[in-house]
Amino acid sequence: MFDFLDPADLAAIWLTVKLAGLTTVLLLLIGTPIAWWLARTGSRWKGPVGAIVGLPLVLPPAVLGFYLLVLMGPNGPVGALTQGLGLGLLPFTFAGLVVASVIYSMPFVVQPLQNAFEAIGERPLEVAATLGAKPIDAFFTVAVPLAKPGFLTAAILGFAHTVGEFGVVLMIGGNIPGKTQVVSMAIYNHVEAMEYANAHVLAGILLVFSFVVLLALYTLNPSRKRP
Amino acid sequence: MIEARFKLDYPGFTLDVDLSLPSAGITALFGQSGSGKTTLLRAIAGLERVPGGRLVFDGEVWQDEDGGVFLPTHRRPIGYVFQEASLFAHLSVQANLDYGIKRSECRPTSADISRIVELLGIGHLRDRRPDRLSGGERQRVAIARALLRQPRLLLMDEPLAALDLARKEEILPYLEQLHETLKTPILYVSHAPDEVARLADQLVVLDGGRALASGTLTETLARLDLPIRLGEDAGVVLDATVSEHDSEWHLAGVDFPGGRLWVRDKGIPTGHHVRVRILARDVSLAHEKIEGSSIINAVAATVTAIGDDAHPALCLVRLDCGGQPLLARLTRRSAATLQLAAGCHVWAQIKAVALIG
């Protein structure tokens, strides 16, 4: 079925999907409590935490990748920790890519969730409490279902944004085929090697993918407008 | 008995109440917006945590900060009806009802459920989504959902305020039904005097975060120091019994200890208890019983006190009518001309008597 792709490109696609999928799952797990806290806290830490989460929105990926490389490298604190735990070093591994992607795509998951939680407001949770629901119960039975459009947006944006990453991967993942080589890296390699036909195929796949993702986002998410 | 003591002091808002309310019947918390009535209700529900507050319900301590007790909302055996529609948008009507039932400490039997569903007339709506309901239907479902928890205390925060007049009239009979058929005590927040007159047994008047008055509806409404705040709505509510029907003129005679009043016949059978509301502005006084007047209701009364009204031209006269209080709003000149004073025997001519359920 994928005869038109050479095995290396197919491996890059598979790796990208795996990376984006895993990153999205992790981000939904990590991002949901952060978004919940940001949506409801009156703490003075709200601003700083929100800014840190949003940093990848404005930071050049190369800068982010550089710092991650330094932090996770043999002389960085994270590197020392992972080595001490017997996990080895994260740069140039798939695990390293996942960690970097989680940080890089964080705002694309946290912000839609935060907006969704803020839009729900306090009232439905108060109602749930008056009906005997504990806070955690109310969260799963009221807040999460009501924030479903936000979760959908967050998952799609998180996945798509991870698929499109380049700079961070370049810095900390390198370009190891079958291990850390994602689609965007493969395209870069083909162009460097003047293999435009292969680059076209991969680029076309990403283009169609991006369009389908946005189409899904706009059609699956019901409009907020009420008749 | 509900003992509530709450003290809050924000810039521009204070709440300072120490109330003992009966845990039976409907107690209205009445006041203008900003009077603290909703905050008080939220504090009783535990939605608002008032530092240093104390709340005891039928001997159970729900909040006592000195003793380190604060029962969170989800552990209080209450039902709460919010002002605006508060149904869960992602659940059907049935699932909304089940949400509270599943989490209730004493689950209703299926007979209880069908009784409440029938009482509020929502049986045919069970499969619908909240956005397919009218405002009145939504509020009826919300009331049923709160009741199905089998609460020991039902809290209602202006449940009719967001509805238009027709929808209000749609729900009020259901609330009256609740009053008659359920034993659950209700705290009912309202700024609408007509709702209070129709539903309440007890009345707490709040103003600026303080309780101005607290007592039975009849006595509290007849206090001379409160009507000023009620303005055009100053008046009394009397309990009466339907005793006679005049089919020729479509009138019903209702008896109260001070005599008989004729009201428009709404078809309420003889022997039934009803409430009538008499506004102070509809009562005029005379020394003699006046014949040849269009006013059909006149009762003998004794002046008990005369008080100030909002405008210096007016005064409020409190009357005793067979042991029942009555208020009349007169000009000061009329009061002087009639030489009214406490102890005077007069005839109270009542221009309008409203039968309120």
pLDDT of the residue at B229:
65
Q: Is the pLDDT of residue B227 over 70?
A: no
Which member of B80, B88, B105 has the closest CB to residue A130? B80
Run of H or E including B210: strand B210-216
Run of H or E including B60: strand B60-64
Run of H or E including B142: helix B135-147
Beta B153-157 vs B186-190: how paired, if at all?
parallel
Cβ atoms of residues B261 and B353 within 8 Å: yes
Mutate: best of A120, A123, A126, A130, partner B, most B CBs <10 A: A130
For chain A, say whether B88 makes contact (Cβ under 8 Å). yes
Residue-wise burial string across B183-219, b where 16 or more C-beta atoms lie within 10 A, e elsewhere: ebbbbbbbbebebbbbbbbbbbbbbebebbbbebbbe
Q: Is the pLDDT of residue B162 over 60?
A: yes
Q: Is the pLDDT of residue A226 over 80?
A: no
- B67 versus B19: which is more confidently predicted? B19
- Taking an 8 Å cut-off on Cβ atoms, the answer to whether A129 and B47 are in contact is yes
- B27 versus B213: which is more confidently predicted? B27
Integer Cα distance of A168 and A68 in angstroms: 9
Among candidates B178, B158, B193, B132, which has minimal Cα distance to B41? B158
Run of H or E including B312: none
- Taking an 8 Å cut-off on Cβ atoms, the answer to whether B47 and A128 are in contact is no
User: How is domain A7-220 classified at the CATH fold level?
Assistant: MetI-like fold (1.10.3720)
HSE toward the beta carbon, residue B80, CA cutoff 13 A: 27
Residue with tokens 């699956």: A220
Q: Is the pLDDT of residue B331 over 70?
A: yes
Contact residues, chain A, for B74 at CB < 8 Å: 128-135, 138
Max CA separation in chain B (angstroms): 70
Q: How many angstroms from the chain centroid is the CA of residue B83?
A: 15
Domains of chain B: 2-221 (3.40.50.300), 235-241+272-355 (2.40.50.100)
DSSP string of A194-220?
T-HHHHHHHHHHHHHHHHHHHHHHHHH
- Taking an 8 Å cut-off on Cβ atoms, the answer to whether B73 and A226 are in contact is no
Cβ atoms of residues B277 and B236 within 8 Å: yes
- Taking an 8 Å cut-off on Cβ atoms, the answer to whether A127 and B88 are in contact is yes
Of B65-69, B115-119, B147-151, give the lowest mean pLDDT range. Answer: B65-69
Which CA distances in Å does A212 have to A23, A25, A205, B93?
20, 20, 11, 36
Integer Cα distance of A31 and A114 in angstroms: 9
Q: Is the pLDDT of residue B356 over 60?
A: yes
Question: Which band of pLDDT confidence, cut at 50, 70 and 90, is reported for residue B357?
Answer: low
Length of chain A: 227
- Taking an 8 Å cut-off on Cβ atoms, the answer to whether A124 and B149 are in contact is no
Q: Would you say the C-alpha torsion B163, B167, B169, B174 has a positive or negative sign?
A: negative
Q: Is the pLDDT of residue B91 over 80?
A: yes
pLDDT of the residue at B291:
85
Domain positions in chain A are 7-220
| DSSP 3-state of A60 | coil
For chain A, say whether B74 makes contact (Cβ under 8 Å). yes
Vertex A141: Cα angle to B93 and B78 (nearest 5): 70
Contacting A residues, span 89-128, partner chain B, CB-CB under 8 Å: 123-124, 126-128
For chain A, say whether B295 makes contact (Cβ under 8 Å). no
Q: What would the pLDDT profile of A138-182 be if each residue is shown by its tens digit? A: 999 999 999 999 999 999 999 999 998 888 988 888 788 888 899
Q: How many angstroms separate the CA of residue A191 from the nearest CA in chain B? A: 50
Percent of chain A topping pLDDT 90: 70
Among candidates A159, A135, A154, A160, which has minimal Cα distance to A40? A135
Nearest-Cα residue of chain B relative to residue A147: B90
Contact residues, chain A, for B46 at CB < 8 Å: 129
Contact residues, chain B, for A141 at CB < 8 Å: 99
Q: Which residues pair with B15 in a beta bridge?
A: B8
Integer Cα distance of B57 and B151 in angstroms: 12
Q: What would the pLDDT profile of A34-63 be if each residue is shown by its tens digit? A: 999 999 998 999 999 999 999 999 999 999
Contact residues, chain B, for A148 at CB < 8 Å: 90
Dihedrals phi, psi of B224, to nearest 5 degrees: -75, -25
CB atoms under 10 Å from CB of B2, counted, come to 18
Query: Which long-range contacts link A17-21 to residues 24+ away (Cβ below 8 Å)?
Result: A17/A163, A18/A94, A19/A94, A19/A97, A19/A98, A19/A101, A19/A162, A19/A182, A20/A101, A20/A158, A20/A159, A20/A160, A20/A162, A20/A163, A21/A159
Query: Which long-range contacts link B339-343 to residues 24+ away (Cβ below 8 Å)?
Result: B340/B285, B340/B303, B340/B306, B341/B303, B341/B306, B342/B303, B342/B304, B342/B305, B342/B306, B343/B302, B343/B303
Run of H or E including B315: strand B314-321
Integer Cα distance of A223 and A202 in angstroms: 33
Q: What would the pLDDT profile of A82-95 be if each residue is shown by its tens digit? A: 998 888 888 999 99
Separate counts of helices (H) and strands (E) for chain A: 12, 0
Q: How many angstroms separate the CA of residue A127 from the nearest CA in chain B? A: 7
Cβ atoms of residues A137 and A171 within 8 Å: no
Q: What would the pLDDT profile of B250-299 be if each residue is shown by its tens digit? A: 999 999 998 999 999 888 889 888 889 999 999 999 998 888 888 889 99
Q: In angstroms, how far is the first alpha carbon of chain A from the final one?
A: 46
pTM of the shown model: 0.84
Integer Cα distance of A117 and A124 in angstroms: 11
Nearest-Cα residue of chain B relative to residue A142: B88
Cβ atoms of residues B187 and B4 within 8 Å: no
Say which DSSP state B238 is in: E
Percent of chain B topping pLDDT 90: 57
The two three-digit tokens of residue A110, written as one number: 């946290």
Q: How many angstroms separate the CA of residue A226 from the nearest CA in chain B? A: 10
Question: Which band of pLDDT confidence, cut at 50, 70 and 90, is reported for residue A2?
Answer: low
Among candidates B86, B241, B175, B356, which has minimal Cα distance to A142? B86
Integer Cα distance of A58 and A109 in angstroms: 15
Cβ atoms of residues B10 and B203 within 8 Å: no
pLDDT of the residue at B130:
94
Of A92-96, B76-80, B82-86, B251-255, give the lowest mean pLDDT range. Answer: B82-86
CB atoms under 10 Å from CB of B102, counted, come to 15
The two three-digit tokens of residue B255, written as one number: 């008896």
Which CA distances in Å does A49 have to A114, A122, B51?
13, 21, 29
Which CA distances in Å does B287 have to B84, B230, B262, B338, B349?
50, 28, 21, 7, 11
